[in-house]
């Protein structure tokens, strides 16, 4: 099993390598891939050193699976080349997510849609993954009508430059700015670029991607995405209106029985999800579960996950695991 990690020296790429090792993914040959400036660098995986290669070289090596986390432009150009060489690409960028010919996959929800013909598979947006992990079982039982979500997203979602900006501000150092304003002691209602409709690209991903993953456009989602000065972990305040009424104890039970979801919801002991607890974990944490008292059949909850793991690297690798286990590569 030859596996290429495209973007191996980047933030998500490094986490991918860590998760591949932790989960003991069946690799016979690892191909770390990065941009020209990183070619020749050494990556250590399971105690063995591997030399970083360029994209042309990686394609010629014909990996069975190529895990991409190198940005949308790279994916648009190179994912088809890997696919033509016989590789199955799992892409972590936004390049292919809304392409009607490509599957958008969260394994716990819709991996069973994958076939051998799917040579480019899209990994959803980090905020989308944790949202649908909690919404999917509730939608199956109570049927969603409308979702309002406000996100509290860490700087690691922007990348290493943003993490460095926050660290510099904490240390009182003037440095390169990833954002148009300081992020320390601040909150920026500005994730990704603004669109013509006044929403950001991130907000529109949250509105559209869940409909595709759940294969249902009968519900609507309105989102506001906010960047906050946490180093890792995304949080979401979610208000869901259902067609059918629910019992709170049934909601908690349903969520707690959902693979990959952990309920942390006891106000007597101040138990609720926080990024500091989600750090380096693969689960999606749900708490502050309560009825919206202003209108019928409506639920409030708080969802937290590590955006670099389940929100990116782990979900990508879970897709690859499904492909291997079901002989789809």
DSSP structure class, residue 184: T
**CA separation (Å) from 175 to 16, 105, 169, 170, 178?**
28, 38, 8, 11, 10
Identify which of 82, 85, 125, 80 has the alpha carbon closest to the alpha carbon of residue 106.
Answer: 125
The catalytically annotated residue of 126, 139, 190, 191 is 126
- Is residue 185 part of an annotated ligand binding site? no
Set 139, 190, 234, 279: catalytic member: 234
Question: What does the DSSP assignment read for 201-257?
Answer: HHHHHHHHHHHHHTT--SSEEEEEEEE-S-SS-EEEEEEEEESS---HHHHHHHHHT
d(CA 95, CA 160): 20
Is residue 3 marked as binding? no
157 in helix, strand or coil? helix
279 as an active site residue: the answer is no
Please tell me whether residue 34 adopts helix, strand or coil conformation.
Answer: coil
Q: CB atoms < 10 A from the CB of 226, how many?
A: 16
From CA 261, how far away is CA 285, in angstroms rounded? 6
Q: Give the phi and the psi of residue 292 in degrees, each rounded to 5.
A: -75, 115
11 is in an annotated binding site: yes
CA distance 273 to 120: 34
61 among annotated binding-site residues: no
Catalytic, 126? Answer yes
Q: Is 10 annotated among the ligand-binding residues?
A: yes
Q: Is 329 known as a binding-site position? A: no
Q: Is 9 annotated as a binding residue?
A: yes
The answer to whether 37 is annotated as binding is yes
CB 202 within 8 A of CB 187: no
Binding residues for phosphate are 97
Binding residues are 9-12, 37-38, 97, 153, 156-157, 227, 307
Binding residues for substrate are 153, 227
Residues acting as catalytic residues: 126, 234
Binding residues for NADP(+) are 9-12, 37-38, 156-157, 307
């Amino acid at each position: 099993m030859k596996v290429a990690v495209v973007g191996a020296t980047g933030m998500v790429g490094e986490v991918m390598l860590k998760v591949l090792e932790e989960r003991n993914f069946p690799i016979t040959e690892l191909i770390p891939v990065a941009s020209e400036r990183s070619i020749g660098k050494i990556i250590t995986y399971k105690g063995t050193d591997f030399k970083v290669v360029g994209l042309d070289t990686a394609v010629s090596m014909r990996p069975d699976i190529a895990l991409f986390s190198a940005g949308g432009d790279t994916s648009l150009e190179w994912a088809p080349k890997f696919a033509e060489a016989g590789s199955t690409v799992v892409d972590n960028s936004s390049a292919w997510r809304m392409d009607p010919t490509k599957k958008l996959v969260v394994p716990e929800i819709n991996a069973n849609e994958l076939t051998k013909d799917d040579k480019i598979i899209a990994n959803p947006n980090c905020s989308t993954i944790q949202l649908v992990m909690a919404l999917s079982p509730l939608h199956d039982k109570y049927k969603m009508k409308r979702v309002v979500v406000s996100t509290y997203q860490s700087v690691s979602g922007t990348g290493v430059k943003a993490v460095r900006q926050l660290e510099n501000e904490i240390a009182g150092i003037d440095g390169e700015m990833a954002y148009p304003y300081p992020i320390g002691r601040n909150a920026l209602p500005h994730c990704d670029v603004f669109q013509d409709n006044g929403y950001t690209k991130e907000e529109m991903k949250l509105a559209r991607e869940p409909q595709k993953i759940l294969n249902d456009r009968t519900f609507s989602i309105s989102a506001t995405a906010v960047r906050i000065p946490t180093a890792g972990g995304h949080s979401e305040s979610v208000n869901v209106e259902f067609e059918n009424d629910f019992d709170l104890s049934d909601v908690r039970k349903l969520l707690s029985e959902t693979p990959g979801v952990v309920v942390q919801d006891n106000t007597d002991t101040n138990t609720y999800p926080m990024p500091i607890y989600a750090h380096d974990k693969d689960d999606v944490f749900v708490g502050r579960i309560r009825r919206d008292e202003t209108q019928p059949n409506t639920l409030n909850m708080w969802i937290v996950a590590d955006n670099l793991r389940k929100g990116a690297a782990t979900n990508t690798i879970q897709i690859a695991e499904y492909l291997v286990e079901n002989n789809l590569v």
